Amino acid sequence: MSLKAKLTLIFFIFPKKNTMNFLEWTSHFINLIYPKTCGACSRSLKKQEDIICLQCQYNLPRTNYHEEEENPIAKKFWGRVPLENAASFYYFGKKGRVQQLIHHLKYGGWPEVGLKIGEMYGTDLSKHERFQDIKLVLPIPLHPTKKAKRGYNQSDMFAEGLAKSMNIEWSADALVRKVFTESQTKKDRFERWENVESIFGIAKPELLEDKHILLVDDVITTGSTIEACATEILKLKNVKLSVVSIATAQS
């Protein structure tokens, strides 16, 4: 019998008047065996902390690009696609804490990281007028083969967290990736564009029309994936488009 099953059994035979004490004891016992750790620094989380410790929430390198209309992310898309706004939450550095968060999200089976970051960033975005008329959050889609292998789309998690804290809708299936592509990691800008050109499609155009849409991804590097997806979205009727990501390289 698994530990979880044993604890569940004990719960049902434990006297009801002591249920609250039992639940607290169980929580402490599980945390002792399987301590919750911060997704960024790997230190044990305190009772009031969740996913990312308070120290990391305060100290992780935020870009604050959402406060600047002409920030480096926005400039990256000038002359490529007409965006209303563009920003990233964190700066991404090799072997840094933000990289660890992204790794846990994409490869470590830790989708809660994306939800947490989305909720945090959505709270910030909601305070700025340029983001207040957004009606729908759309994640960059994974090909079904890659999504099945990973178990989830990391951008879905980020989108869901954003939508929750911004109190708007999001959709995991309004956009589709029609072609399976190779990893972008070791490609230059032109190769990245060739790798994603014409691979995205719109599955639910009626859901996107006449809306200000927030298109989201985990990391923005050259912007080729965002550009390819944005090009398809902007073919629709009366659409405005903004873009954000979890992280970007510091310029």
Taking alpha carbons only, the member of 133, 131, 152, 149 closest to residue 141 is: 152
What fold characterizes domain 60-249? Rossmann fold (3.40.50)
Reported as a single tens digit per residue, the pLDDT across 162-191 is 999 999 999 999 999 987 665 545 555 545
Cα separations in angstroms, 52 against 36, 42, 223: 10, 9, 27
Reported as a single tens digit per residue, the pLDDT across 216-231 is 999 999 999 999 999 9
pLDDT of residue 250: 85
Cα separations in angstroms, 84 against 116, 124, 130: 25, 17, 8
Contact 127, 87 (CB under 8 A): no
Contact 114, 246 (CB under 8 A): yes
Q: Which residue, chain included where needed, has tokens 């990233």? A: 88
- Range of lowest pLDDT (90-94, 120-124, 185-189): 185-189
Q: Is the pLDDT of residue 232 over 60?
A: yes
Spell out the domain ranges in the chain.
Answer: 3-33, 60-249
Contact 198, 232 (CB under 8 A): no
Q: Is the pLDDT of residue 213 over 80?
A: yes
**At a CB cut-off of 8 Å and minimum separation 6, what does 240 contact?**
84, 211, 212, 213
Mean pLDDT across 152-159 = 97
Cα separations in angstroms, 149 against 129, 138, 142, 144, 176: 39, 21, 11, 9, 17
pLDDT of residue 110: 94
Contact 56, 117 (CB under 8 A): no
- Tell me how crowded residue 42 is: count the other CB atoms within 10 A of its CB: 12
pLDDT of residue 30: 44
pLDDT of residue 180: 61
Residue 192 pLDDT class (50, 70, 90 cuts)? very low
Q: Which residue, chain included where needed, has tokens 């959050």? A: 137
pLDDT of residue 179: 77
